[in-house]
Amino acid sequence: MSGPTADLFADAALQQPGGREQIGEESYVLRGYALPWIERLLPELRRVLAQSPFRQMVTPGGFTMSAALSSCGDLGWTTDTRGYRYSPLDPRNQQPWPAMPDALRQLAVSAATEAGFSDFLPDACLINRYVPGAKMSLHQDKNERCYSAPVVSVSLGLPATFLFGGHQRADKPQKVSLFHGDVVVWGGVDRLRFHGVMPIKEGEHPVMGPQRINLTFRTAG
Ligand code: SIN
Ligand code: FE2
């Protein structure tokens, strides 16, 4: 089969839960991969956020990020006017970040394995909350000590258009639609590719409400 009909079939297959869509040499979207974990994951996420609530942070350039952040795990990614870095303490209260709940870690390790990265040992889970209009500009994840581990990104709530670029900021990014339960894994030769999120559209998600929450797992230390 070829032509537009074949493309339609290909897209439908790729978007089904369980579908694995390759977006780079060592990068995959695992459609709906987080769905079987959601019931365990949400109460744990709520506990984490009760201890370290979402807050908006300022970039070194002095801009307030539109996404609000929290973290769990041994290290949490933070930004302020002094720079981007990982810290073992939540700057809000100088207490350790909440521990990474088992369900979150297991989901991340399992998704990484599915994408060809066994032995993933995440020590940082950044939690981003996007309300409609919030976005994430193109950037590379490069505050981690070493890049041999992949990035595992779990999407919850409102859909998003994920921008998956190249190794230069100017490389034209692919647009990848991400839905509740989708997991993206990028690593190896793709580990330092630029990526971002287009402004989230207005909406109400039946489980998560009017927001998108993204969890990104990394080995930072
Ligand atoms: C990030 O790059 O930290 C977040 C990506 C996303 O929200 O999908
Ligand atoms: Fe990132």
CATH number, domain of 206, equals 2.60.120.590
Pairing, β 151-157 against β 83-87: unpaired
The structure tokens 């019931």 sit at: 39
Task: Specify the amino acid at residue 41.
Answer: L
Position 21 in a domain: no
Domain for residue 127, yes or no? Answer: yes
- Estimate to the nearest angstrom the gap between the alpha carbon of 174 and the chain centroid: 16
Is there a domain that residue 39 lies in?
yes
Give, using CA atoms, the residue closest to atom 3 of ligand 1.
216
Domain membership of residue 156 (yes or no) is yes
Residue 134 lies in a domain: yes
CB under 5 Å of ion ligand 2: residues? 141
As for how many domains the chain has, the answer is: 1
1 within some domain: no
DSSP 35: G
Which amino acid is it at 51?
Answer: Q
**What range does the domain containing 166 cover?**
27-218
Q: Which two tokens stand for residue 69?
A: 């952040």
Q: Is 128 in the pocket of ligand 1 (CB under 6 A)?
A: yes
Per DSSP bridges, beta strands 95-96 and 124-130 are: unpaired
Closest CA to 217 of 103, 53, 134, 133: 103
**Residue 131 above 60 pLDDT?**
yes
Q: What is the mean pLDDT of the chain?
A: 93
pTM over 0.85: yes
CA of 96 to the centre of ligand 1 (A): 23
% pLDDT > 90, the chain: 91
Question: Domain for residue 14, yes or no?
Answer: no
50 has pLDDT over 60:
yes
Q: Is the CB of 136 under 6 A from ligand 1?
A: yes
Q: Which residues pair with 213 in a beta bridge?
A: 129, 156
Average pLDDT over residues 87-107: 97
3-class secondary structure, 4: helix
∠ Cα 217 129 146 (to 5°): 25
Q: Is the pLDDT of residue 146 over 80?
A: yes
197 CB near ligand 1 (under 6 Å): yes
> Does the CB atom of residue 79 touch ligand 1 within 6 A?
no
Closest C-alpha to ligand 1, atom 7: 214
